[in-house]
Structure 1
Amino acid sequence: MGQKAPRRRGARRAALLAATMTASLAVGCTAHHGGTVDDGRGRNQSPTQSPTESPSGGGTVAPAAGPLLAVKIDNVPAARPQTGLDSADIVYAEQVEGGLSRLMAVFATKLPKSVGPVRSARVSDLELLRQFDDPTLAFSGAQHKLLPLIAKAPLRSASPDEAASAYYRGVDKSAPHNLYLHPDKLLSSAPGAAALTTGFRYGAAPAGGKATASRTVRYPAARFTFTWSGPQHRWLVTEDGTPTVTTAGKRLAPATAVIQYVKIQKSAYHDVLGNNTPYTVTVGSGKADVLRDGRTYSVDWKRPTATDGTEFTTSDGTPVNFAKGQVWVVFAKA
């Protein structure tokens, strides 16, 4: 995506979040549906940005029209198939309680008619979202001790308690796996690729790499497999041994998959079954594997501060480009 333009964040909110995030390394989140967050804030204007290359191709795009949308997506087998994931620009996968996984879908260039099932937020999400300019976060609830952090974070909170008209219950799955979102009830239009202030770059592949037919990432109770499809020129996603498709039957197939090795720390909190809530640390540096064009590239990643995007480079410091199209980032334990 190139370099990010300076951002205009609320200094007070950013300072409050920075102060509380240090303590939150020992704070987790359990699945809780309820509670009210009243942040009392309107949406900030996005900073002026230079035109930049679109991750989906088509040359340059105009500056962002507003904040992007991030949605927490349920990812246990009972929640699948999900709706709207194929429209996301980025899908982040993180480990949660019991070794299971949860997704965060990020929408900037396209808003689907519906997204879900929507589930609860985690404290790690706040650090991950600091790289975006005043994003809207759609989630179904959070552990009570996390709600004050969400209220202070530089984002627009959009839970069902705050935006009830944007949500509905589906009939194809049982609760709590049937809560869905109408994105156009939260954003009037997609802000555009310039809202993706991730540090990601798109373009020609780097030299080298290792030919790869398939790659699997394992959590204690979940696994992701990316299988290269030459005809589609995409990585076909399989989760827990089952092909990942949307409710319309479309196979999920990102152009780039990133396995980013990070610290996954224990928090001081647990879910109702006593499982610890992991904290995924996305600020710092480490190793990653970038999968594109049927090859794996072993690279370094760096994100100096929470307000920075993540840079991926070769061993000599050369920036690594992603293939144009959807990106999946799976956070794996270093």
Structure 2
Amino acid sequence: MGGRGTVCKGSWTRRARRGATAGALLAAVVAGTLLAGCTTTGSDDDGQGQGSDRRDDRTGAPPAGSALAVKIDNVSAARPQTGLDAADIVYAEQVEGGLSRLMAVYATRFPEVVGPVRSARESDLELLRQFDEPTLAFSGAQSKLLPLIGRAPLHAKTPEDAGAAYFRGDDKPAPHNLYLRPGKLLDAPPGADALTTGFRYGPAPSGGTPEDSRTVRYPAARFTFTWSDDSRRWQVSMDGRPTVTTDDVRVAPATVVVQHVTVRPSQFRDFLGNNTPYTETVGSGRAEVLRDGKIFDADWERRTANDGTRFTTTEGEPMNFAEGQVWVVYTADRS
């Protein structure tokens, strides 16, 4: 993915604000109603200002392309998932009812199929502003969220405006059976330069505490990462069961970040009246970085929504990640 000891995902470019087309928004209303049924009240104020210029730290040129982000269902009925092992980054966040949902980001390679695909949330827009006009694949969103999606600097793709890229499988009941063929949505993976996250890759810092397993708990979900000496990876389990794709591949990132953030109520509610949590990914705080069978205490900072997130050791040195897939699990800061 990146060179050892270098800032390999931290490009900084100005992005034009291209929202979804009116047709795509209308289609997303239908998709949000039929497929997601996720929220019923909301605010049209996105609260997101303009960011600074972003240029590639090494060449000064804009990134070669934009990343593909896919919202992936993560309730028990949606498992096993497809294509999760091929993602460069997997973000895990809390949603309604204390459950979890994933966002998988693809840049260096596309799997043939990804899914199941589900609906977008308000927090996604802030998270995705660090990328240069990414494509967001999702099943839909409720109507009051659509103006925010329309103003966001991303390309929104639902089944109604990119029908050839989506299909319904027969392995799971609806709505847990919607899948995406990335190759029918984008011509080719844009490459590692599209991962404008601020992550660094290279040798581990000194210190760290040996760690066999780490569990992160949400009110109604949990993630466990268990170190494997054989694969040199952290094997993922969700809700107590190993995470294995439909291709029988154990999902096992090289680096896991447990990022402590503010999780607050949003202006939105689902169709049952449950509030939609908003995960704040701009700001600063503490984190734990799992790599090489150790856990490292770290600090994180993301100054604006257009910036990537910088991780440092508690001594202020850059925190390098191991080469390979990264999982970032957002958890409510209790401090």
- Quickly name the TM-score band, shorter chain normalised: 0.7 to 0.9
Aligned match of 2:279? 280
SS of structure 2 residue aligned to 1:204: coil
| Residue correspondence of structure 1 range 55-66 to structure 2 within 5 A | 64-66=63-65
d(CA) in 1 for partners of 2:306, 2:161: 26
SS at match of 1:189: coil
Distance 1:322 1:309 in 2: 15
In the TM superposition, residue 155 of structure 1 has moved relative to its aligned partner by 0.3
Of the candidates 37, 44, 48, which is equivalent to residue 32 of structure 1? Answer: 37
Question: Does the 8 A contact of 1:4 with 1:199 survive in 2?
Answer: yes
Structure 2 unaligned spans of 5+: 20-34, 40-53
- Paired AA for residue 312 in structure 1: F
Matched residue of 2:206: which SS? coil
Deviation string, structure 1 residues 188-238 (Cα, Å, up to 9, x no partner): 001000100000000100111110000000000000000000011000000
For these two proteins, the number of residue pairs brought into alignment is 297
CA–CA separation in structure 2 for the residues paired with 1:317 and 1:127: 26
- Which residue number in structure 1 is paired with residue 216 of structure 2? 217
Q: Is the 8 A contact 2:12 2:196 kept in 1?
A: no
C-alpha displacement at 1:289, in angstroms?
A: 0.3
> Match of 1:65, SS?
coil
**TM-score, normalising length from structure 2?**
0.85
The CA distance in 2 between the partners of 1:142 and 1:213, in whole Å, is 39
Are the equivalent residues in 1 in contact too, given 2:14–2:55 (CA < 8 A)? no
Q: Per the alignment, in what secondary structure is the counterpart of residue 36 of structure 2?
A: coil
Whether the aligned pair in 1 keeps the contact of 2:73 and 2:176 (CA below 8 Å) is: yes
Instruction: Check conservation: 2:10, 2:199, Cα contact below 8 A.
Output: no
CA contact (8 A) 1:282 1:303 kept: yes
Instruction: Report the Cα offset of residue 63 of structure 1.
Output: 7.9
User: Structure 1 residue runs of 4+, over 4 Å off?
Assistant: none
Q: Is the contact between residue 74 and residue 117 of structure 1 (CA under 8 Å) also seen in structure 2?
A: yes
Structure 2 CA distance for aligned equivalents of residues 86 and 327 of structure 1:
10
| Pair 248,319 (structure 1): closer, same or farther in 2 beyond 3 Å | same
Partner of 2:28: none
Asked whether 1:160 is paired with 2:165, we answer no
SS of the equivalent of 1:145 reads helix
Q: Shift of residue 51 of structure 1? A: 5.9
Please point out which of 8, 15, 31 is paired with 2:14.
Answer: 8
1:208 alignment counterpart: 207
Q: Deviations over 1:251-289 (max 9, x none)?
A: 000000000000000112211222110000000000000
Is the aligned partner of 1:317 residue 2:313? no
- 1:124 corresponding residue in structure 2: 123
After superposition, the Cα gap between the structure-2 partners of 1:299 and 1:229, relative to the gap in structure 1 and judged at 3 Å, is: same
- C-alpha separation in 2, matches of 1:317 and 1:112: 37
> Which range moved further: 281-290 or 261-270?
261-270
1:263 match: 262
Q: Give the conservation status (yes or no) of the 8 Å contact 1:51–1:194.
A: no
RMSD (Å), alpha carbons: 2.0
Matched letter for residue 4 of structure 1: G
Secondary structure, in 3 states, of the residue corresponding to 2:123?
Answer: helix
What pairs with 1:1-334 in structure 2 (closer than 5 Å)?
2=7, 4-10=10-16, 31-32=36-37, 49=56, 64-334=63-333
Q: 1:82 is matched by which residue type in structure 2? A: Q
SS at match of 2:91: strand
Provide the C-alpha distance between the structure 1 equivalents of 2:17 and 2:226, rounded to a whole number of angstroms.
Answer: 44
Matched residue type, 1:322: F
Contact 2:70–2:137, Cα closer than 8 Å, also in 1 = yes
Q: Percent identity?
A: 66
Structure 1 unmatched ranges of 5 or more: 14-29, 35-46, 53-61
